[in-house]
């Protein structure tokens, strides 16, 4: 039997928590569809700050979330549809991306969208990416999830994940950037997002005839909320889980310059080396001392400047990212 869940919640951290909770606590196979507010969702082994346009994301209220699967960074918004398969397997050879992407490809092709899989486990149409996919294995169960860009704001997507290369160095998995497109662009006949979701569900039920509609009980939703609060929403998971890295940047402003070099482990600044004409040697030493042990985030960098009574505008604080 396969349970079909249409999640109503739109918080990416809740939805990612739901995936982990169901993966570890259910025995049934699962198919789930969910959507979220504007978010960038990074892979488990990625450096969050190196994958996003931190200033744009923060100033535009875009959430940052980390999933339990590997792979690269994806963008979610109300125009994107996420699907998740959670399945029991007896033999590791049964775990295959194609097992889970094939029903989605079939559903798209029946709508007249000529989708196909790429070598990187993406789904593409005319060479443009419409879906990113990733997997995570827990004991004898596999979680496979993917995005479906239906009518997303592609400009917002591009701005959120646009980064300047060279600032971050480390062993984190880096995303491979792709040219993306919306599925709606390729539909011969226009379709609402709701009808698109129902079509996906209909095709799924035709392929897996033992599918049963299911709603997560409220008592289990409360457990999922606790998991989200204690893990997925924490800076330790979202940013601190990033592999160790070094950061370097130079800010030039009004004939002054500030060179910044940070070494970061588990999201915490371990060493800080500053130089340039922005500050005196004494002030630089004060900054370096207070930066050590702080989370590499806007709020904590800003708090150091406020503690020292140093004036710092947004450009200065964001030069640390």
Q: What's the CATH code of the domain at 262?
A: 3.30.390.50
Q: Please, are residues 7 and 30 in contact by the beta-carbon 8 Å criterion?
A: no
Could you tell me the mean pLDDT of each successive run of 10 residues in the chain, 321 residues long?
97 98 98 98 97 98 98 97 95 82 97 90 95 96 97 97 92 90 97 98 95 98 98 98 96 94 98 96 97 98 97 96 97
Dihedral of the alpha carbons of 110, 113, 117, 118, in degrees to the nearest 10: 170
State residue 100's pLDDT score: 93
pTM of the model: 0.94
**Can you give the residue range of the structural domain that contains 284?**
245-318
Same domain assignment for residues 182 and 102: yes
Our count of domains for the chain comes to: 2
The answer for residues whose C-beta is within 8 angstroms of residue 287's C-beta and 6 or more apart is: 272, 274, 279, 304, 308, 310
* Half-sphere exposure of residue 164: CA atoms within 13 angstroms, side-chain side: 12
Same domain assignment for residues 110 and 164: yes
Q: Please, are residues 210 and 44 in contact by the beta-carbon 8 Å criterion?
A: no
Q: Where are the alpha helices (DSSP H) in 211-297?
A: 218-227, 235-238, 281-291
Q: Please, are residues 6 and 206 in contact by the beta-carbon 8 Å criterion?
A: no
- Nearest residue to 170 (alpha-carbon basis) of 266, 64, 247: 247
Distances (CA, A) of 28 to 88, 206, 219: 8, 18, 18
State residue 254's pLDDT score: 86
- Nearest residue to 187 (alpha-carbon basis) of 82, 90, 113: 113
Q: Where are the alpha helices (DSSP H) in 208-280?
A: 218-227, 235-238
Same domain assignment for residues 258 and 228: no
Same domain assignment for residues 229 and 259: no
State residue 30's pLDDT score: 98
């Amino acid at each position: 039997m396969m349970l079909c869940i249409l999640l109503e919640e739109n918080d990416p951290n809740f939805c990612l928590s739901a995936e982990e909770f169901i993966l570890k606590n259910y025995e049934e196979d699962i198919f789930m569809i969910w959507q979220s507010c504007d978010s960038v969702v990074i892979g488990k082994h990625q450096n969050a700050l190196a994958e996003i346009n931190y200033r744009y994301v923060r100033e535009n209220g875009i959430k940052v979330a980390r999933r339990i699967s590997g792979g690269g960074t994806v963008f979610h918004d109300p125009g994107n549809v996420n699907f998740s398969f959670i399945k029991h397997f007896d033999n590791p050879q049964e775990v295959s991306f194609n097992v889970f992407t094939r029903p989605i490809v079939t559903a798209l092709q029946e709508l007249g969208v000529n989708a196909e899989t790429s070598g990187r486990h993406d789904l593409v149409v005319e060479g443009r990416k419409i879906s990113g996919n990733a997997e995570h294995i827990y004991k004898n169960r596999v979680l496979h999830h993917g995005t479906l860009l239906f009518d997303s704001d592609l400009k917002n997507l591009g701005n959120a994940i646009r980064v300047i290369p060279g600032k971050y160095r480390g062993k984190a998995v880096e995303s491979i950037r792709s040219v993306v497109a919306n599925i709606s662009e390729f539909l011969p006949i226009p379709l609402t997002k709701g009808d698109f979701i129902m079509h996906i569900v209909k095709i799924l039920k035709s392929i897996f005839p033992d599918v049963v509609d299911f709603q997560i009980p409220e008592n289990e939703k409360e457990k999922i909320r606790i998991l989200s609060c204690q893990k997925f929403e924490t800076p330790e998971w979202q940013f601190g889980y990033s592999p160790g890295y070094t950061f370097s940047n130079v800010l030039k402003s009004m004939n002054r310059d500030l060179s910044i070099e940070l070494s970061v482990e588990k999201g915490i600044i371990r060493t800080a080396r500053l130089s340039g004409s922005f500050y005196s040697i004494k002030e630089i030493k004060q900054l370096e001392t207070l930066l050590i042990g702080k989370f590499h985030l806007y709020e904590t960098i800003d708090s150091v400047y406020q503690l020292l009574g140093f004036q710092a505008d947004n450009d200065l604080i964001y030069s640390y990212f």
